[in-house]
Structure 1
């Protein structure tokens, strides 16, 4: 059985998002989470250290999925106002609600195809609800069932979000891997 918990344990976040080499400049799911200027200057191990700081905050940077005690997946979820989505021109603001955003769903290799992305998305919704979010948004690709390259699949698909109860709220000006992204929303109150 998959359990989803707040991502407050840095070592578990590192197991999903971390480095294979200490000097690598992997995403660490910071691209949308921190200001663009900060994201550009953080290199190598400093990226992981920034995530360690985020994990120690009162509201961690996302949720983790566990199969027993083994961490098997990650979802980034936080108030939209604290993300790059607050400032982007390609993904519209539907209204003035203080919505939360879920922008990355990642399942570790060897665990894919077992419904973990569904559990992660459900866990992200519950995490946002528990922290007072009035609604939650995601920005998945509209792929019409066609294969999405694994390096770009982190945003999820419209079908994944629909299965979790989200509905399309708007088109966006964003395209990923050749697929348009749509704004999906789920009211939480």
Structure 2
């Protein structure tokens, strides 16, 4: 595993983050990692409008992610935020019908540069998100990983990691969501030794 560093998504890290997203054609059909931010179904949204939306959310402090750096290059991120910040999740109707309580934070999307996949970077990104959450005061965190694939699946489809990875990171299984997704939860204690940093 490389010598990676974690930096929060902010106006200071935007250019490196945006370069990674652009390298992958905006990821997931030009989404620019905005799908989880909004419940609106706008057929007129485009690559450029999604980019502008993400940039605005970052500037306003309403988009959070642990960005993984290899030197000066961003190579991955783990998106996280409150349910208000990230209201949209897959299987949302079922999730809300079965939810006992909403978490303080949710991890919604983990993306790794194609040149760095299968090197443990997904775990680095998620650990980075948990560290940033701890620095922000901690709380109950949910993740929605996939069950372990029963056949070979491209890592680009595992947008939130797998259940065994989350179990290794201290998450407990809560329930299934959809056919191959899960709700997993853990409490992150506040880290009073570190102050939240930007950039």
Give 1:49's match in structure 2, choosing from 33, 47, 52. 52
Give 2:171's match in structure 1, choosing from 166, 170, 176. 166
Greater relative contact order, per chain length (Cα 8 Å cut-off, separation 6+): 2
Q: Distance in 1 between matches of 2:77 and 2:85?
A: 19
Q: 1:128 to 1:41 in 2, by over 3 A?
A: farther
Post-superposition offset of 1:59:
4.9
Q: How many residue pairs are counted as aligned between the two chains? A: 182
Q: Say whether the 8 Å CA contact 2:145–2:162 is kept in structure 1.
A: yes
Q: Distance in 2 between matches of 1:112 and 1:86?
A: 23
Post-superposition offset of 1:186:
1.2
Give 2:6's match in structure 1, choosing from 4, 7, 15. 4
Aligned residue number for residue 193 of structure 2: none
Aligned residue number for residue 141 of structure 1: 146
RMSD, matched Cα: 2.6
Q: Say whether the 8 Å CA contact 2:16–2:72 is kept in structure 1.
A: no
Aligned residue number for residue 34 of structure 1: 38
Give 2:92's match in structure 1, choosing from 88, 91, 116. 88
Give the TM-score taking structure 2 as reference length.
0.79
Report Cα offsets for 1:118-171 as digits up to 9, x if no partner: 110001111222223411111111125642233421121111111211111112
Structure 1 residues not aligned, in runs of 5+: none
Report Cα offsets for 1:71-130 as digits up to 9, x if no partner: 111111111232214992132564335421111111101112222111100011112222
Give the TM-score taking structure 1 as reference length.
0.83
Q: Distance in 2 between matches of 1:111 and 1:140?
A: 20
